[in-house]
């Protein structure tokens, strides 16, 4: 696969964003009540940040959608399985978001308080799955706290532009 196909896959998800929901730990499952309860149980430390009413809102928003977290989004569009930090560690070329090429992964640790990955779609924009109660979203790279950029191992970046 080349970087252009990767971006097209990501844009297809954005175009159908109502079918998707961010759900921590999800990697493309249909978010039934049983699946959500299992993910909440498996990631209990993460989900403990939410009170009961917020968890109800998250489940209501997510129910019967395709669940993805940020790294699940990258796995879905690329076919390359991984988690945000592991994906970054495997990047053959690493640089800054300003110097990255279209189709590169973007990474942040939010100043060592978390981990997140998105996709540079070119022209200064990116796509990502930001958090619960959201789906795929577009943003300006310069307006988000991205710290690193890296080419995804296994993707052809020939002719990719900065």
* Residue 157 is assigned to a structural domain of this protein: no
Would you state the pLDDT for residue 83?
72
* Residue 123 is assigned to a structural domain of this protein: yes
pLDDT digits (tens, 9 = 90+) for 14-49: 999 999 999 999 999 999 999 999 999 999 999 999
How many structural domains is the chain composed of?
A: 1
Q: What's the pTM value of the predicted model, to 2 decimals?
A: 0.93
Q: Which residues contact 77 (CB under 8 A, 6 or more apart)?
A: 6, 9, 10, 13, 119
pLDDT digits (tens, 9 = 90+) for 49-76: 999 999 999 999 999 999 999 999 999 9
* Residue 160 is assigned to a structural domain of this protein: no
Would you state the pLDDT for residue 103?
96
Among 68-77, 82-91, 136-145, which stretch is predicted with the lowest mean pLDDT?
A: 82-91
* Residue 114 is assigned to a structural domain of this protein: yes
Average pLDDT score over residue span 122-132: 97
- CATH code (residue 32): 3.90.1720.10
126 torsion bin: left (phi>0), alpha (psi -120 to 50), beta (else): beta
Instruction: Report the candidate in 67, 63, 56 with the shortest Cα–Cα distance to residue 32.
Output: 63
SS3 22: strand
* Residue 155 is assigned to a structural domain of this protein: no
* Residue 156 is assigned to a structural domain of this protein: no
* Residue 62 is assigned to a structural domain of this protein: yes
Q: Which residues contact 84 (CB under 8 A, 6 or more apart)?
A: 70, 71, 107, 115, 116, 117
For residue 50, give its domain range. Answer: 3-150
* Residue 162 is assigned to a structural domain of this protein: no
């Amino acid at each position: 696969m080349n970087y252009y196909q990767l971006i097209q896959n990501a844009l297809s998800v954005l175009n159908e964003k109502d079918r998707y929901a961010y759900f921590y730990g999800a990697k493309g499952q249909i978010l039934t009540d049983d699946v959500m309860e299992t993910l909440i149980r498996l990631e209990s430390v993460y989900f403990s940040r939410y009170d009961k009413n917020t968890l109800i809102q998250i489940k209501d928003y997510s129910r019967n959608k395709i669940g993805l977290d940020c790294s699940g989004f990258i796995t879905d569009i690329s076919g390359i399985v991984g988690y945000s930090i592991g994906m970054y560690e495997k990047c053959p070329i690493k640089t800054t978001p300003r110097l990255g090429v279209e189709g590169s992964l973007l990474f942040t640790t939010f100043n060592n308080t978390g981990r997140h990955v998105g996709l540079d779609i070119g022209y200064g924009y990116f796509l990502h799955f930001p958090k619960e109660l959201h789906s795929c979203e577009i943003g300006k790279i310069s307006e988000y706290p991205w710290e690193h950029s890296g080419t995804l191992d296994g993707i052809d970046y020939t002719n990719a532009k900065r």
